């Protein structure tokens, strides 16, 4: 199901503005993004959704500044 349709259904069900529902839905993904951007490579667990982690073998492809090596 498309994200926009889900947000629309939730907005109708709870009688809330679309922007509020979109912020609620996207909050967990922004959290994961912020943790990853810190560069500490911690494991992140979102209940009922999954566990996100960095494969330790892939860390060798990063440069000192955190960007990927271009081959």
pTM: 0.60
42 domain residue, yes or no: yes
Residue 70: pLDDT over 70: no
Helices (H), the chain: 3-14, 18-38
Q: Residue 30 is part of which domain span?
A: 3-61
43 domain residue, yes or no: yes
69 domain residue, yes or no: no
Could you give the number of structural domains in the chain? Answer: 1
67 domain residue, yes or no: no
Condensed to tens digits (0 to 9), the pLDDT of residues 9-60 reads 999 999 999 999 999 989 988 988 888 778 777 888 888 888 888 787 877 7
Residue 62: pLDDT over 90: no
pLDDT value at residue 59: 75
Cα–Cα distances in angstroms (integers) from residue 24 to residues 4, 6, 10, 31, 69, in the given order? 13, 12, 11, 11, 35
66 domain residue, yes or no: no
């Amino acid at each position: 199901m498309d994200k926009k349709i889900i947000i629309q259904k939730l907005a109708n069900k709870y009688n809330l503005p679309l922007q509020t529902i979109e912020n609620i839905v996207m909050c967990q993904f922004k959290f994961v993004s912020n943790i990853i951007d810190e560069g500490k490579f911690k494991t992140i667990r979102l209940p009922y959704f999954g566990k996100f982690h960095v494969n330790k073998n892939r860390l060798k492809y990063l440069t000192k500044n955190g960007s990927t090596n271009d081959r």
